[in-house]
Amino acid sequence: MSICPVPPEALVTPVSPSIPADFPREWVRAQQSILAFIGSLVSGFHDAEDLLQETASQAFKQMHRYDPSRPFLPWALGIARNVVHEHWRKTGKDRHVFDQEIVSQLAEAFEDLSGNTDRVYTVLSSCLQKLPPRSKHICRLRYEADLLPQQIAEQLATTSEMVRTLLYRVRRQLRACVEHGLRAEA
């Protein structure tokens, strides 16, 4: 399965000669890792997606600074990092978040993971199929409806602690399944 629901080839025809031909394709490849990197610095899908959009905007404006002979992802993560710092500064959270060293290590970790993201996504999709059908319901409430444990608990007439435990177990099962699937592929 492609990482992008629409084939990138159909989308990336440059309309301006000043835009490097590979830039959109590189963005598509890197987008998921950039989002996850932002998601490791800012909690919540809403904020992370907003900052991804801001990163895309900044990347577009600074496109002329990108050197196509160098890897794209570290350059884009650098922009994302600046966008997140600006977000922290605006929201007054800069004293209550990870320090520069951790942020650098996280950027490196996501660079390392990026080579495998497509495979992880494919394996994860099949792992989800193997979950007990009703377990999927909890995943849907968390990941599709974007409900937090307390809200899920209200929907399911149970406690938020129970929901946290269920989510933890589902994540653990999925992670084990993905690791197993990647090993089997290898």
Partner 1 sequence: MTELTHLINAWLDNELTEPQMRKLSAFLREDRRNVQDFAQQVELHYLLHKTHFIQANLPLAAPVPLGAGSGDADCRPAHRPPARRAFRYGLWAVMASAMVLIVPLSWLMLRGSAREDTHERQWRHIAADERVPTPLEAEIAHVASITGIDHTRYRVGQRLASGERLQIERGEVTLRFAIGARVQLVGPVDLEFVSPSRAVLHRGQLTATVDESGRGFTVATPYADVIDLGTCFGVNVGEAGNADVVAFEGQIEIAYTSDGGGLKGASGAVERLGLSVGEAVRIDGSGGYFRVPVIEGSQHLSWSPGIRHTRSSLITKLSDNIPATDRPIYYSIIPGGFDEDARAYLDRPHEWNSIAGTSFPEELRGRDYIRLRNDLKFALNLKVTLEFAQPATIYVLFDERVPPPAWLRQGFTRTDLRIGVDECYAPGVSEGQWAEGILKPLGRGPGNSVDTAYAIWARHCPEDEPVVLGSMIDAEFPPASNAQADSPLYVTALSMYGVVVAPYVGEPPPLLMERMPQRQSPLDALSRSWSRYLRKSGNEPPSFWRSRN
- Residues in 125-164 that interact with partner 1 by CB under 8 A: 125, 128-129, 132-140, 142-146, 148-149, 154-158, 162, 164
Does 14 bind partner 1 (CB under 8 A)? Our answer is yes
Does 182 bind partner 1 (CB under 8 A)? Our answer is no
Tokens read off for 91? 């929201």
Stretch that binds partner 1, among 30-38, 72-80, 82-90 (CB under 8 A): 30-38
Stretch that binds partner 1, among 66-74, 75-83, 84-92, 170-178 (CB under 8 A): 170-178
Size of the residue set binding partner 1 (CB under 8 A): 89
Identified binder of partner 1 from the candidate list 66, 75, 88, 121, rule CB under 8 A: 121
| Radius of gyration, alpha carbons of the chain | 19
Does 167 bind partner 1 (CB under 8 A)? Our answer is yes
Least gap, CB of 129 to partner 1 (angstroms):
7
Q: How far is the C-alpha of 177 from the C-alpha of 79, rounded, in Å?
A: 33
Stretch that binds partner 1, among 25-33, 66-74, 77-85 (CB under 8 A): 25-33
On whether the CB atoms of residues 28 and 4 are closer than 8 A, the answer is yes
On whether the CB atoms of residues 100 and 108 are closer than 8 A, the answer is no
**Distances from the Cα of 99 to the Cα of 66, 93, 104, 105, 112, angstroms:** 26, 12, 9, 10, 20
| Complex with partner 1: residue 89 or 162, whichever CB lies closer | 162
Provide the H-helix boundaries in the chain. 23-41, 45-61, 72-91, 100-114, 117-130, 133-139, 149-156, 160-185
On whether the CB atoms of residues 87 and 79 are closer than 8 A, the answer is no
Least gap, CB of 170 to partner 1 (angstroms):
7
Does 180 bind partner 1 (CB under 8 A)? Our answer is no
Helix (H, G, I), strand (E, B) or coil at 95: coil
Identified binder of partner 1 from the candidate list 68, 94, 105, 180, rule CB under 8 A: 105
Least gap, CB of 46 to partner 1 (angstroms):
7
